[in-house]
Amino acid sequence: MSTFVPPLPGLPLSADGPVFREPWEAHAFAMALALHERGLFTWTEWATALAAEISSAQRAGDADRGDTYYHHWLAALERLVAAKGASTPRELERYRRAWDRAAARAPHGQPITLAPHDLEA
């Protein structure tokens, strides 16, 4: 069963649905859908959080060419996850650093694999 995704501010769409420039963008999109389906937030809460992230970025000088859209998407998702108590900002930062370490050692074009030692540093 597919999930209906209401129009969201700034969501890049084609005739077939959302458009992703990189695989991580599709993953961020899917995480937001999954967390919504589990009841972590409403679409109204999501749209408000995403709009706030985009507005904040624009005030900070984001040129708003569309290439940073999913960075704002991910920031909004992290903010909601922390605000709802599903994680903490500290834990999210820990995983962000771990994924950065894993990505740095992964050969170009190969999957990034998170290892236990990535979380220890």
Mean pLDDT in each 10-residue stretch from start to end of the chain (121 residues)?
A: 53 73 87 96 96 94 87 94 94 92 91 91 65
Among the listed residues 51, 98, 93, the one whose alpha carbon sits nearest the alpha carbon of residue 72: 51
Distance between CA 32 and CA 24 in Å, rounded?
Answer: 12
For tokens 């992230």, name the residue.
Answer: 53
Q: Say what the pLDDT of residue 98 is.
A: 94
Distance of alpha carbon 11 from alpha carbon 18, whole angstroms:
7
Q: Which of 43, 50, 44 is nearest to 79 (CA)?
A: 50
The pair of three-digit structure tokens given for residue 38, joined into one six-digit string: 């589990």
